[in-house]
Amino acid sequence: MNVAQLLIKCLEHEGVEYIFGVPGEENIDVMDAIKESKIEFITTRHETSAAFMAGTYGRLTGKPGVCLATLGPGATNLLTGVANANMDHCPLIAITGQAGLNRQHKISHQYYDLVDIYEPVTKWNAQIKTGEIVPEVVRKAYQLAAGEKPGATHIDLPEDVAEMEVDLDPLYITDYKRPQAGEHVLKEASMLISKAKTPLILAGNGVTRCGGSKKLREFVKKTQIPVVHSFMGKGAVSWKDELSLLTAGLSGGDYITCGFNQADLIITIGFDMAETPPRNWNPNGETPILHIDTEEAEIDAYYPVALNVVGDIKQNLEQLMKMVPEQERNLDWAKSIRKKALDELDSYKQDSGFPVKPQKIIADLRDVLRDEDIVISDVGAHKMWIARMYHTAQPNTCLISNGLASMGVAVPGAIGAKLANRDKTIVAVCGDGGFLMTGADIETAVRLNVPIVILLWRDEGYGLIEWHQMKKFDRPAHIDFGNPDFLKFAESFGMEGMRVDRAEDLKPALEKAVAMKRPVLIDCPVDYKENMKLTEKLNNITCE
């Protein structure tokens, strides 16, 4: 057995199902070892797409997704997707081929020190310089990637080491349980909650990541504390729950901002700073924070922590529920905020304007999909509309990258999501800018017969950047581009294509696409004049 075969044997032992990537000269021993393993290799059209697939798979399963590239440009292409997973706390293991040890001391073809390059965007990484360390390296890479807070790890394998002979077995896998906070800390937290007259919960990515949605819902029901979700915490409490104040995260004011203005205590649960800056919802830095998470809070001037409750989120919520007494609360303010937000979505369901308004697209998408189906948003103007108005009943059913927030994530992410959830409809919501950054991987979806739906919002430009430019300068600059005929583009890969020519055609097109059980692209022109109308509306919102 050579080192490459041992590496794959160790990954098999960890339960790895898929490796996403692009083969190269310096990883041919690994590719050959995969050929003889139970692991399925998913050949992608670009290394960044491979990492996006692995990251999304990891986020939805809790098991590290694995991606692979060769050295040089393969490894640097992979880097963006690895960084994206790491910032979004998606468990991922990246494997790179590398120049042999015999030429790393000098300038050499395609050689860069990948351990140094990957160090800032991973939790841990290492180069395998001898076969004896492979079981330890794989076990550590897997354990650190999956452990709180999850993220990316990286294994660099030189080509000459990969072919060395070795006779070892994978390490024994042990479970690790995270401790809960001490009783005195939980009692102090209980007192803070009991004394607060208008507390508010901000549910973050950590709640969905740890499977804590059920405990949070029980906690909310007993304490009668309203809940706001971050982009990445959507669905921790169902949007149908009267105590759900939906989603925060826009940089300006919104109905939800009024909820934060009312709060005399903000209880953040599983919240990461990258999700939404505290200055957006605690602009004076005066409202105290009760921070419940697996790690102590980051220092931030707008995040004044009254108490850190550190440890297993589910266990800590369960203990807090026992300590916090039931209370009667005046929730009229919360009901008013919730009604305004929901009424806005309902008011666009019958809108017939064309190009189609963002609100109408979201209303139709919400009507067509089941609660358990998954929407993956790319990055662009559509992301802001999805985050604000696509309401969710279950966690991890609306995936929004809000750490690195890399364009191009949705199409490959949808492929990874479908491999992790064969029984759910997966919809990738893309702008025409982000779609063409990774759109070649619709060939991967067709080749694998992975039935995803791509809902393309077409505006012929970088809409989100134009939105920001108009707000600051009142004029756009260099945001326009040309597009192919997207139906012909999709059909050239063997994908079904549909075009929306009237607003009333969108919902039937979505229903047809879902029913087809094959890869489908829907080309939908979008009216982004609504962006500036929304800005004006948000500027005029008053909290009463």
**Which helix H or strand E contains 261, and what residues bound it?**
helix 255-262
Predicted local distance difference test score (pLDDT) of residue 135: 97
pLDDT of 308 strictly over 80: yes
Backbone angles phi, psi at 517, to 5 degrees: 60, 40
Residue 336 — very low, low, confident or very high, per pLDDT cuts 50/70/90? Answer: confident
pLDDT score of 118 more than 80:
yes
Alpha-carbon distance 343 to 440, whole Å?
39
Is the pLDDT confidence value at 258 over 90? no
Which stretch of 223-232, 242-251, 491-500 has the lowest confidence by average pLDDT? Answer: 242-251
The identity of residue 247, as a single letter, is: T
499: confidence class by pLDDT, cuts 50, 70, 90:
very high
Does the pLDDT at position 86 exceed 80?
Answer: yes
The reported pLDDT for the residue numbered 253 is 67
pLDDT exceeds 80 at position 251: no
The answer as to CATH 3.40.50.1220 being correct for domain 183-333 is yes
Alpha helices in 421-485, H assignment, sequence order: 432-438, 442-448, 463-473
pTM of the model: 0.95
Can you tell me the distance from the alpha carbon of 395 to that of 489, in angstroms, rounded to the nearest whole number?
33
Give the strand order in the sheet containing 227-229: 244-247, 227-229, 199-203, 265-269, 289-293, 305-310
- Indicate the pLDDT class of residue 542, thresholds 50, 70 and 90: low
Do 347-539 and 183-333 fall under one CATH topology? yes
Structure token pair of residue 378: 């790319």
> Taking 80 as the threshold, does the pLDDT of residue 255 lie above it?
no
Predicted pLDDT at 108: 83
* Confidence check: pLDDT of 513 > 90: yes
Residue 101: alpha-carbon gap to chain centroid:
37
The CATH classification of domain 3-162, taken from the options 3.40.50.970, 3.40.50.720, 3.30.390.30, 3.90.550.10? 3.40.50.970
Does the pLDDT value for residue 250 go beyond 70?
no
> How much is the pLDDT for 327?
81
Task: Please state, as a whole number, how many other Cβ atoms lie within 10 Å of the Cβ of residue 533.
Answer: 12
pLDDT tens digits along 460-482: 999 999 989 999 999 999 999 99
Residue with tokens 């826009």: 250
Residue type, 472: K
At residue 158, the pLDDT reads 96
- Which superfamily, per CATH, for 347-539? Thiamin diphosphate (ThDP)-binding fold, Pyr/PP domains (3.40.50.970)
Confidence of residue 536 (pLDDT cuts 50, 70, 90): confident
Query: What is the per-residue pLDDT across 381-434, written as a single tens digit (0 to 9) for each?
Result: 999 999 989 999 999 999 998 889 999 999 999 999 999 999 999 999 999 999
Q: 124-143, pLDDT tens digit by residue?
A: 999 999 999 999 999 999 99
Average pLDDT of 504-512? 97
* Domain ranges within the chain, ordered by starting residue: 3-162, 183-333, 347-539
Residue 280: phi, psi to the nearest 5? -70, -30
- Tell me which residue of 58, 22, 17 sits closest to 440, measured CA to CA: 22
Confidence of residue 107 (pLDDT cuts 50, 70, 90): confident
- Across the chain, mean pLDDT equals 93
